[in-house]
Amino acid sequence: MRARAPGKHAFVFIFITVLIDMIGFGIIIPVMPRLIMSLTGQPVETAAVMGGLLMGVFAFTQFLCAPIIGGLSDRYGRRNILLFAMLGFTIDYLIMGAATSFAILFVGRMVSGVFGATYTTANAYIADITEAKDRAGRFGMMGAAFGLGFILGPAIGGVLGEIDPRYPFFAAAGLAGLNFLYGYFILPETLTVANRRPFDIKRANPFGSLMQMRKYPVVFTMLAAAALFFLGHAAFPALWTYFTTLRFGWSPQDIGLSLMAVGLTSAIVQGGLTKIIVARIGEWRAFAIGFSIAALAYVGYGFITEGWMIYIVMSIGALSGIGGPAMQSICSRLVPANSQGELQGAMSSLQSLSMVIGPLTLPQVFHYFTSDGAPIYLPGAAFLVAAILTVAAILVGLSSRHQDFATLKQAPPVEVE
């Protein structure tokens, strides 16, 4: 009983940590356009490009630091790294809330990327405190925390942003500070000294897991499809606030409510319908149908003319949520048990890279097609680019379908040294 009690408290802390991370990430999204415009004096079209730089540097820093943070947690313990991140988030949000220039905001988002890379440590902590038979359920709870945070964050940020665009940053700092204090007094260490290993920078390589997947041709092809899909999907975090601000004149509260609706519809599909639909129609059909719905939704966003139409497209587009889990299921089935971590690392690396490239390129499309020199005024042009990338992802992924069927007739995969 004495060994289990700390585990229960620890899991609550990790759940809250991930929840606060996502609330902190989502709480500032609705106010970014207003804050950037107030700091720079630029119009929303230019602010979108500058916001893309902020998102890109956040993702790039996270991409570089995730394996480093993971290695440091193996060396110095999970608790120390997680508390370091919570304290860092507290200070960083305060600095961004008080920023007097875009340069300070830029550095703040870069630092946020470092502390945000502790998500891998949170997963390692869960593995430490949970028996193998219970891990799937607890990792599922982490997904619930992720979704819940993205529902609450934009909603809170939208309400606070109506008062002052800096208030959401201070609110995020307060949440992170409270979690640091809770963890400092409650959170136990789970990694014993005997199980720690020296930090090796050669192993802290974000490209390593991607290279390992070359051993599995179908998986490697599906990862290429995932890269295209993730790149298109980056249009949402990179442009949503700027697109809706320019196209419909939405306030931070309007934007926050719309993002809350995105999180809610996604949670319903991925948390309740995905398991049923994939079991009924199969992984490959779910992958193709889900990604096809995503492409159609992008086209809808590209051409809508009224704000209320977003909610119709959103409701239909939420069904695209069956595609990603189906793709992950295909890949997971083709990779041996002792390479599942590498597979998830590869997926994370691709998603981080997409969040570097997407925010640096898609806002440029938005800027061009809303400028005076554009051949046609089309604020949703970047979403049409996302649709094209998603169709390409479908074609690339399906090209390996028959090879997967041949693999199913063979013995389960075994890791080869």
Residue range 279-293, pLDDT digits in tens: 888 889 989 999 999
DSSP state of 270: I
Predicted pLDDT of residue 178: 86
**287 is written with which tokens?**
């992958």
In the chain, where are the structural domains located? Answer: 1-186, 206-410
pLDDT in tens, 323-352: 887 887 788 777 775 455 556 667 777 877
Same fold, 1-186 and 206-410: yes
Confidence of residue 408 (pLDDT cuts 50, 70, 90): low
| Arithmetic mean of pLDDT, 200-219 | 73
- Looking at residue 101, its pLDDT comes to 92
CATH T-level assignment (fold) for domain 1-186? Growth Hormone; Chain: A; (1.20.1250)
Class of the domain covering 206-410: mainly alpha
- Summarize pLDDT for 76-96 with one digit per residue, the tens: 777 888 888 888 888 889 988
What's the mean pLDDT when you consider all of the chain? 80
At 108 the three-state DSSP class reads: helix
Residue 185 has a CB neighbour count (10 Å cut-off) of 7
Integer Cα distance of 46 and 49 in angstroms: 5
Q: In the structure, what pLDDT confidence band is assigned to residue 16 with cuts at 50, 70 and 90?
A: confident
Average pLDDT over residues 360-368: 90
Least confident of 24-33, 42-51, 270-279: 270-279
pLDDT digits (tens, 9 = 90+) for 34-84: 889 989 988 888 888 888 888 788 888 877 777 677 667 777 777 888 888
**Vertex 111, ends 358 and 169: CA angle to 5°?**
90
Specify the pLDDT at position 124. Answer: 67
**How would residue 6 be classed by pLDDT, with cut points 50, 70 and 90?**
very low
Q: What is the pLDDT of residues 130-145, one digit of tens each?
A: 664 565 446 556 666 7
Output the pLDDT for position 383: 96
Least confident range of 146-150, 228-232, 370-374, 413-417: 413-417
Q: How confident is the model at residue 416 (pLDDT cuts 50, 70, 90)?
A: very low
Angle made by CA atoms 323, 123, 176, in degrees to the nearest 5: 105
- Percentage with pLDDT > 70 across the chain: 81
Asked if pLDDT for residue 4 goes beyond 50, the answer is: no
For residue 203, what pLDDT is reported? 58
Among candidate residues 78, 77, 83, the one with its CA nearest the CA of residue 181? 83
Is 227 a residue whose pLDDT tops 60? yes
Residue with tokens 């041949």: 406
Note whether 255 and 154 are within 8 A (CB): yes
